[in-house]
């Protein structure tokens, strides 16, 4: 996952309504009636976790609160946790430890533990971290303002998985970037033996297509040019349309230039979706399709429901209809019972597929999942060593992919300033970070470039059909 995906959520404070005097904290706060209460939301997890952080921010802003970019100035700090690996969960407790220390003026913030750790370990957090004021799961965060009120008289907890979707209870979204996430599907029924997501996010549910089309239209009306459809199993979407059907409807929205989706499961790559990649121009040529292991034996133990061969066959079909598609994946090394021969299969699939990008993780025991109690857990040192070899192969592949794009002309959606003055960084259709200097261009513009240089994690580009190009050539 990239820094973009992990970015913390701190909003500007324009157009805020009057502060809501009803929301006060259970913890000592200095009297400052002349300013709005401030919040900070920190994301620890996947893109959907980031999306949820943004929506919690929308809720708090709608209460008249003001977003701040660091926890130090905040009256309410929301820690939106991830439970996917052990280290991700541990970060919650170290953050709580810091936040509960009284500040210079004697105050401390109201602490909200949200997200997947809150869902999976709500009771444990309550016992282990008395400083936490609110515990709220990923399916209940629409109740955050109510929970903050309840917390005035004692700790408030909501880790229900209600049948009525939270999305209906959320306020209209504020647009902060030209590229927006849109959650279309949540939860997972796949139960891979290593994974907590089916337990933290509940069963697969899809939002109605009509709601999503309306939300996408509203986003585009406010300047969004790219929408990434999100779901834990986004290609299992079935909200009245299939994912391909939804993509086709969204492609008809004028002003929406780019559509992406993530994360997909190999089992749900339907012919319909493959066809959309061939036909829908706005659907970007990039697919994140995690395989997890190159060994069919390990895949079976993981309960992945695909084999090495079926996965490769799906990619071949996709490349037949969309030859320039860039692929990415996720890998786990050191799954229980993984032998050196199994791991060699993982290395060989990385070389065979030529991923544009890939994310690799050491298997992390997640209590309560089937793999946690499997025999033959792989020693930590072996996992470390395999991870290093895998990452070297992935980096080599990313560089080869980026090199193969040198000379291509494409469009880049500018997203943020670069390191040097005048530089901007944006995304190519293949989701590469492209560094480009274009006088007069601003964040949110889509510009025509030519790729001229490649690094493992980014490419260098120059503008085409632009005055700067001619003067550079002169």
Using CB under 6 A, list all residues that contact ligand F3S: 45-46, 48-49, 82-84, 115-116, 196-197, 200-201
Query: String of b and e for 352-385 (b: at least 16 CB within 10 Å)?
Result: ebebbbbebbbbbebeebbbeeeeebbeeeebee
Residue 197 binds to ligand SF4 (criterion: CB under 6 A): yes
Residue 355 binds to ligand SAH (criterion: CB under 6 A): no
Residue 195 binds to ligand SF4 (criterion: CB under 6 A): yes
The residue behind tokens 């550079």 is: 472
Q: Minimum Å distance from CB 9 to ligand F3S?
A: 14
Distance CA 27, CA 114 (A): 19
Distance CA 91, CA 43 (A): 11
Per-residue DSSP letter, 395 = H
The residue behind tokens 């889509």 is: 446
Q: What is the 3-state secondary structure (H, E, C) of 245-307?
A: HHHHHHHCCCCCCEEEEECCCHHHCCHHHHHHHHHCCCECCEEECCCECCCHHHHHHCCCCCC
- What residue number has its CB nearest to ligand F3S? 45
Choose among ligand F3S, ligand SAH, ligand SF4, none what residue 109 binds, the Cβ cut-off being 5 to 8 Å by kind: none
Residue 190 binds to ligand SF4 (criterion: CB under 6 A): yes
Span 236-255, contacts to ligand SF4 by CB under 6 A: none
Q: Minimum Å distance from CB 90 to ligand F3S?
A: 13
Choose among ligand F3S, ligand SAH, ligand SF4, none what residue 191 binds, the Cβ cut-off being 5 to 8 Å by kind: ligand SF4
Report yes or no: 41 and 223 within 8 Å, Cβ to Cβ: no
Measured at the CA of 420, the angle between CA 417 and CA 422, to 5 degrees, comes to: 65
Find the binder of ligand SAH among 61, 292, 328, 346 (CB under 6 A). 292
Q: Where are the alpha helices (DSSP H) in 354-457?
A: 380-404
The residue behind tokens 């309960």 is: 303
Q: Which is nearer to ligand F3S, 205 or 354 (CB)?
A: 205
Q: Minimum Å distance from CB 108 to ligand SF4?
A: 35
Q: Minimum Å distance from CB 334 to ligand SAH?
A: 9
Q: Minimum Å distance from CB 367 to ligand SF4?
A: 15
Choose among ligand SAH, ligand SF4, ligand F3S, none what residue 159 binds, the Cβ cut-off being 5 to 8 Å by kind: none
Site string for ligand SAH, 144-183 (x = CB under 6 A): ----------------------------------------
Residue 79 binds to ligand SAH (criterion: CB under 6 A): no
Span 242-271, contacts to ligand SAH by CB under 6 A: 263, 265
Size (the chain), residues: 474
Q: Closest Cα partner for 109 from 59, 38, 20?
A: 38
Residues that bind ligand SAH (CB under 6 A): 84-85, 194-195, 197, 232-233, 263, 265, 290, 292, 330, 332, 361, 363-364, 366
């Amino acid at each position: 996952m990239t820094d973009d995906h992990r970015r913390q959520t701190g909003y500007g404070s324009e157009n805020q309504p009057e502060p809501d005097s009803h929301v006060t904290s259970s913890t000592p706060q200095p009297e400052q009636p002349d300013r709005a209460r401030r919040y900070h939301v920190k994301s620890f997890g996947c893109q959907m976790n980031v999306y949820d952080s943004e929506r919690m921010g929308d809720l708090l802003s709608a209460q008249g609160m003001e977003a701040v970019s660091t926890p130090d100035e905040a009256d309410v700090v929301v820690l939106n946790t991830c439970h996917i690996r052990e280290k991700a969960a541990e970060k919650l407790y170290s953050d709580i430890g810091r936040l509960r220390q009284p500040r210079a003026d004697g105050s401390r913030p109201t602490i909200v533990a949200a997200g997947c750790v809150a869902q999976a370990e709500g009771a444990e957090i309550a016992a282990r971290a008395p400083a936490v004021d609110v515990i709220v799961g990923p399916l209940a965060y629409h109740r955050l303002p109510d929970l903050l009120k309840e917390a005035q008289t004692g700790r408030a907890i909501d880790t229900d998985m209600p049948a009525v979707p939270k999305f209906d209870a959320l306020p209209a979204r504020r647009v902060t970037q030209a590229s927006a996430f849109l959650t279309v599907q949540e939860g997972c029924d796949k139960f891979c033996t290593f994974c907590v997501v089916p337990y933290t996010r509940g069963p697969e549910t899809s939002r109605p297509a009509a709601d999503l089309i309306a939300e996408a239209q509203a986003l585009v009306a406010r300047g969004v040019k790219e929408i990434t459809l999100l779901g834990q199993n986004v290609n299992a979407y079935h909200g009245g349309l299939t994912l391909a059907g939804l993509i086709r409807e969204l492609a008809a929205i004028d002003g929406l230039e780019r559509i992406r989706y993530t994360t997909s499961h190999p089992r749900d790559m339907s012919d319909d979706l493959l066809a959309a990649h061939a036909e829908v121009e706005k659907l970007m040529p990039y697919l994140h399709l995690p395989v997890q292991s190159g060994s069919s034996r390990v895949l079976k133990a993981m309960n992945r429901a695909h084999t090495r061969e079926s996965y490769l066959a799906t990619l071949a079909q996709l490349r037949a209809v969309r030859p320039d598609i860039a692929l990415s994946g996720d890998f786990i090394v050191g799954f229980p019972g993984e032998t050196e021969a199994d791991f060699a299969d993982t290395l060989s699939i990385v070389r065979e597929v030529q991923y544009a990008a890939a994310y690799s993780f050491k298997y992390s025991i997640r209590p309560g999942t089937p793999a946690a109690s499997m025999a033959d857990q792989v020693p930590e040192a072996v996992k470390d060593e395999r991870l290093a070899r895998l990452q070297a192969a992935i980096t080599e592949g990313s560089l080869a992919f980026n090199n193969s794009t040198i000379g291509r002309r494409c469009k880049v959606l500018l997203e943020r300033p670069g390191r040097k003055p005048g530089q901007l960084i944006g995304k190519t259709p293949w989701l590469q970070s492209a560094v480009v200097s274009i006088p007069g261009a601003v964040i949110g513009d889509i510009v025509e470039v030519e790729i001229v240089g490649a690094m493992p994690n980014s490419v260098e580009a120059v503008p085409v059909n632009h005055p700067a190009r001619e003067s550079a050539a002169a």
